[in-house]
Amino acid sequence: MPHKRNPVLSENITGLARLVRSYVAPSLENVVLWHERDISHSSVERNIGPDATVTLDFILYRLNDVIQNLIVYPNNMQKNLEKLKGLFFSQTVMLKLTQKGLQREKAYKIVQGQAMNAWKTNDSFFDLLNKDKVVKKYLSTTDLEKLFNLKSHLRYTDSIFSRVLKNS
């Protein structure tokens, strides 16, 4: 796809990661018989050890290049989120309804129904929920506003990045 910047690098990383994950099954089979080691164990390990190490090194090298050259467009990200009219908050709303006492199946049907209405009518998911009589029995407008606050979903982003990048 010509509009993508690094399709070959990213697709290569994805494919090689699949290969490395395929080593899990034979490795686990070795663990089961660890107390009865024989040549069948070491033959697997002699192949997996170097191949996985070299492949992971290559993946990390490629991934570093992808990340260093990554271009992020925050305004486009925001526009894309806005196109969804708040639909990505559906799980949060459903869970809050169940916490407030509504049965899960009923909460699911109500939230799903209003989500489908939002898709069809291109109306705000928030507004549709805020007008729903059953939802209003359990959640006030203020409750919904808190659930639809993107910042609450991103509140741990900085701490996650600092933990991940602490030793970089």
Amino acid identity at 59: I
For residues 125 and 33, give the distance between their C-alpha atoms in angstroms, rounded to a whole number. 55
Read off the pLDDT of residues 32-84 as tens digits, 9 standing for 90 and up. 777 777 777 888 888 999 999 999 999 999 999 888 888 889 999 999 888 88
State the average pLDDT for the chain: 90
Domain regions of the chain by residue span: 7-68, 78-153
The fold of the 78-153 domain, in CATH, is Ribonucleotide Reductase Protein R1; domain 1 (1.10.40)
Read off the pLDDT of residues 85-106 as tens digits, 9 standing for 90 and up. 899 999 999 999 999 999 999 9
Whether the model pTM is above 0.75: no
For residues 110 and 81, give the distance between their C-alpha atoms in angstroms, rounded to a whole number. 22
Read off the pLDDT of residues 102-129 as tens digits, 9 standing for 90 and up. 999 999 999 999 999 999 999 999 999 9
pLDDT surpasses 70 at 168: no
